[in-house]
Chains A and B, each alone.
Chain A
Amino acid sequence: MTPRIGCNELATMGQMNMLEAIRDALGTEMAADDRVILLGQDVGKFGGIFRATDGLFAKFGDKRVFDMPLAEGAIVGSALGLALSGLRPVAEIQFLGFAQQAFHQIVPQVARMRYRSRGRFAASLVIRAPFGGGVKTPELHCDAIECQFAQAQGLKVIAPSNPYDAKGMLLSAIRDPDPVLFCEPLHGYRFIKGEVPLSAYTIDTGKANVVREGSDVTLIAWSAAVDLALRAADALSTEGIRAHVLDIRSLLPLDVDGVVTATEKTGRCVIIHEASLTAGFGAEVAATISRDAFYSLQAPIERVTAPDAPYPLAAAEQMFIPGVERVVAAARRTLEVQ
C-alpha cells in the first residue's frame, strides 16, 4: 500500500449541509452518551419535518427517540423534568415561531432552574428550532424571534451560520451543563454547505468568530444573516471595499470582547438581522459598541433589519427580509462619513 497525500483528511472530513451536520452531531453524541435522548413532534420514524433526525429512530430505537404529543409547552417542560432525572434531552420545536407556545416553560422555568435551586438542579438540555424566512412558509413559521429569548438569563441562545459550526456548537450545547436554545437557519438548511470533520469536536459557543478578515467596514451577523453578510462582502470587494465579517454565534451570552475587537478593526459597523428593527438584538450590539468601542467609531452604526411590521405572507417576504443590496448600501453609508 502506498500512502497517498490527503487520504487521512478525506477519510475524516465530509461535505455536509446544515441539516447533515446537525444530524451528524446528534448521532455522534447519542452513540457516545446513552443519556442523550431526542424528543419532539415527528422526530421518530419520520425523521423530523426537515429530516434533522432522519435515521436516528432506526438506529437508537424507541427508548431514545420520542414522538411527542403536539404541545410545545409539554415538550420543553417535560424535557426539564427528564434532565432532572439524569438524562440529556434534545428537544426539537418545529419552528421557532411556535416556541412561543413554550415561552412560559423556556424563560421562567428552564432558564431559572439552576438559579432558583441555588445550583442544586441544572436544566442540562437543548432546544433546537429552525427560524427565519425566505422559504415561503405559511404565517408564523418564519418569525425570527431569537431576540425574545435573549433576556432569559440562565439560558444560552446560540445560532450557527455554517455546517462546521453547527456540528461543533451542537455537540458543545448537548454537553453544556446549562440549557441552550439552538437556533437553526431554516433558509440555509440545505444550501449552506461546507467541510465538516466526521469525528466529534466542540466549539466555544460563547466566542464570536471572524469569518472574513477586512479593514474597511465590519459586518456583524449571526445564523443565515452571516451568509448574507458574506455575499455582501463579495459585492463590496468588487468596489475595492474590504469587509470584516463577524459571526457573533451567541446572543446570550454575548461575546462583548469579540464585538469590540471586530469594531476597532474598521471603526465602521453594519449589524444585520432578520427580525424587525425596534428592540431587535442589533440594538443590544449597537449599544455595546457605542459604550465599549466608542472612540474607535468613525461613523454612526448602521442596522440592516426587517421593517417594523409583522412578518408578511410569502409573496411579500422578499421585500421584508434584508438583502445584499441593503447591506451594501449601509456599508457604503458608513464609508461616506469621513
Chain B
Amino acid sequence: MGNPSTPQFLYHNDPVVPLRLLEPDGTLAEGSVSPMDDEQVLRALRLMMLSRAFDAKGISLQRQGRFGTFSPVQGQEASVVGSAFALDPSRDWIVPQYRELPALLHHGLPLENFILYFNGHPAGGHIPEGVRLLPIQISLAAQLPHAVGLAWGLRLQEIDGVVLTYFGDGASSEGDFHEACNLAGVVKAPVVFFLQNNGWAISTPRSRQSAARTFAERAPGYGFDGIVVDGNDLLAVYAVTLAAVERACAGMGPTLIESQTYRLGAHNTADDPTRYVSQEALNAWSDRDPILRVQRYLSAHGCWSDRTASEFRDDISRTIDEALATARAVPPPTAEDLFEHTYAELTQRQARQLREHAL
C-alpha cells in the first residue's frame, strides 16, 4: 500500500506477452501440452482450410458479379476456429459480428445460409431452429449488449450455457462495448467477449483505436479479467477460450479475450488494402500463417501429408460447390418476402401494400 496522501497514478507499461502454446514452426512451446488431441486438431484444420478456400471462392465469384460484398476471414482462422471449438453447440451461444464464418459453420449454420445472406437473399438471415446463433451483426458492437442480456437471462432462468460474442479492435471503440462490459461485470453474466485484434478497422490501424497498451486490460476496469492470446495459435486460443467458458459456467462471470491476429486479406471485397497495408507487414504475418502452423504441427505427429492435404482440398471443394448449388436452387425473393416477419402478422397497411405490389 502506498502513502494515501501521495497521488498514486495507475499506470502500467510492462510488455504483455500473449499466451502461446504452438510456435510458428509448428513445435509446442517449451513446457506446454496440447489441450486438443490430434483428431480434434484435424477437424479444426479442416474448418480453417474450408474457411480459406471459401474466401478465395467468394472473392473470385464476387469479381465475376456472382456473389455479394463479404468480409474474408483470411489470417484469422485459428482465432475464429479455436474459440468456436471451445464451445458446446448444444449448450452455448455465439453472438457474431460478420467475419467468423467457420465458427458459424461449426455451431450449426448451413454454409448455404451464409452464401444466401451475402448474396442478398432474405432467406440467408434464417438461423435453423435449435442452432444457438444470433444473426450476423453489421452494426459494430451493437451485438455486445444482446450477448450480455442473453447470458444474463440464461443465468436468471438457471439454464446452462455460456454466450461467446465476437467483435474487433475497431468495434471496441463503440459505446456499446463499454456499456455491455460494464453491465456484464455488474450482473456477472456468463459471457465471453472475444475481441479479435486483427490490426485494422478497414484502413484505420489499431494505434488509432486506443492508446491502451492492450485491449484486454480494459477488463479489470469493468470488474472482470482479461487475457491476451496469440490469435494465430489454434491451441492457445482454444485453451484460453475453454478456460473462460469454464469460469463462466462456474459463476465467475465474464472474461475479455484479446486475440492478437492479423487480417491478411481485405476488409471486404470492396476494399483495397494495398493503399494502406505495407508489404513488409503482410510478409511478416504471412510467416505466422495460422494454417501452416497447424499443418506443421500435425506433420511432425505424422498426421499430415501431401495425400491428406489433397484429400482435404477435394473434400472442401466438394462441400463448397454443394452449398453454392443448394443456394442457387433457392427461388428468388418474392414481394411477400419484403413484408413477412416484420411483425408476427402483417399490419393493415402492409397487407394493402402487398396487394398493390401484386397488381
Contacts and interface: CB of A to CB of B under 8 A. Distances in A.
A289 B359 CA distance: 23
Contacts of B156: 37, 63, 82, 85, 87
Interface size class of A (residues with CB under 8 A): 35 or more
A108 interface: yes
B125 to A, nearest CB: 5
B348 A68 contact: no
B165 to A, nearest CB: 10
A118 B342 contact: no
B153 A84 contact: yes
Interface string B121-136: 0110111110000110
Contacts, number: 143
B126 A120 contact: yes
B153 A86 contact: yes
A105 B145 contact: yes
B122 A85 contact: no
Interface residues of B, number: 43
B179 A81 contact: no
B153 A85 contact: yes
Tell me which of B134, B135, B149, B347 has the highest count of chain A C-beta atoms within 10 A of its own C-beta.
B149
* Most chain A CB inside 10 Å of its own CB: which residue of B179, B342, B350: B179
B123 A118 contact: yes
A78 B348 contact: no
Nearest to A207: B348
Contacts of A104: 139, 142, 176
A81 B135 contact: no
Contacts of A156: 343
Contacts of A119: 126, 340-341
A114 interface: yes
30 contacts: A37-B156, A63-B156, A69-B183, A69-B186, A73-B179, A74-B179, A74-B182, A77-B144, A77-B148, A77-B180, A78-B146, A79-B149, A81-B153, A82-B153, A85-B157, A85-B159, A86-B153, A87-B153, A87-B156, A87-B157, A109-B139, A114-B341, A114-B342, A117-B134, A117-B135, A118-B122, A118-B340, A120-B129, A206-B347, A254-B349
Interface of B: 122-123, 125-129, 134-135, 139, 142, 144-154, 156-157, 159, 175-176, 179-180, 182-183, 186-187, 340-344, 347-350, 352
Interface of A: 37, 63, 66, 68-69, 71, 73-74, 76-87, 89, 104-105, 108-109, 113-122, 153-154, 156, 177-178, 206, 253-257
